[in-house]
Amino acid sequence: MDTVKQVERPRSRVANWALVVLFLAAIWTPLAMNALGVRTLRLDENRVRAARPRLEFDRAALATFPARFEAYFNDSFGLRDQLIRWNNLVLVKALGVSSSPDVWLGRDGWLYLTSGWSAEDYRRCLPFSKDELEAWKTALEVKRDWLASRGIRYLPVVAPNKHSIYPEYMPGTVRPLHRETRLDQLRRYLRNHSDVTLLDLREPLLKSKSSALLYLRRDTHWNARGAMVGYQAIIAELGRWFPGLHAAPVSAFRSVRIRKSTDLSLMLGLGEAMTEAETIYEPIGGRKARSVDPGPAGRETREAREKPPWVSECDGPGLPRAVVFGDSFFGPMHVYFAEHFARCYAVWHTPFDLQIIEQEHPQVVIEEFVERKLYDPPFVPVALKAPVRRDRPGETQRALASKRGEPAEDRRSR
Q: What is the pLDDT of residues 292-307, one digit of tens each?
A: 988 765 555 555 566 7
User: Across all residues in the chain, what is the average pLDDT?
Assistant: 85
* pLDDT value at residue 91: 86
Chain segment 360-373, per-residue pLDDT in tens: 999 999 999 999 99
Residue-level pLDDT at 66: 86
Using pLDDT thresholds of 50, 70 and 90, give the confidence band for residue 68.
Answer: confident
Q: 314 or 386: which carries more pLDDT confidence? A: 314
How far is the C-alpha of 356 from the C-alpha of 198, rounded, in Å? 22
- Could you count the other beta carbons within 10 Å of the beta carbon of residue 137? 20
Q: What is the Cα–Cα distance from 59 to 2, expressed in whole angstroms?
A: 67
* pLDDT class of 404 with cuts at 50, 70, 90: very low
Mean pLDDT of 336-352: 92
102, 269 in Cβ contact below 8 A?
no
What are the pLDDT digits (tens) for 319-336?
A: 999 999 999 999 999 989
CA proximity to 266, closest of 276, 277, 274: 274
Higher pLDDT, 165 or 42: 165
Q: Assess whether pLDDT exceeds 50 at residue 395.
A: no
Residue 184, classified by CB atoms within 10 Å of its CB into exposed (0-12), middle (13-18) or buried (19+), is: middle
Q: What is the pLDDT of residue 403?
A: 47
* 332 touches 324 (CB < 8 A): no
121: nearest Cα among 183, 209, 200: 183
DSSP codes of every residue in 159-185: EPPHHHH-GGGS-TT---SSS--HHHH
What pLDDT score does 360 carry? 94
Residue-level pLDDT at 9? 54
Q: What is the pLDDT of residue 31?
A: 63
Q: How far is residue 314 from each of residues 65, 117, 166, 290, 323, measured CA to CA in Å?
A: 54, 38, 36, 6, 14
Q: Other CB atoms closer than 10 Å to residue 205's CB: what's the count?
A: 21
DSSP 287-349: ---EE----GGGTSSHHHHHS--EEEE---TT--EEEEEE-TTTHHHHHHHGGG-SEEEEEES
Residues 251-284: pLDDT tens digits? 999 999 999 889 999 999 898 888 999 999 999 9
- Give the distance, in angstroms, between the CA of residue 11 and the centroid of all CA atoms in the same chain: 59
Cα–Cα distance list, 120 to 157, 267, 372 (Å): 21, 19, 9
Confidence at 400, pLDDT banded by 50, 70, 90: very low
Q: What pLDDT, on the 0 to 100 scale, is given for residue 227?
A: 97
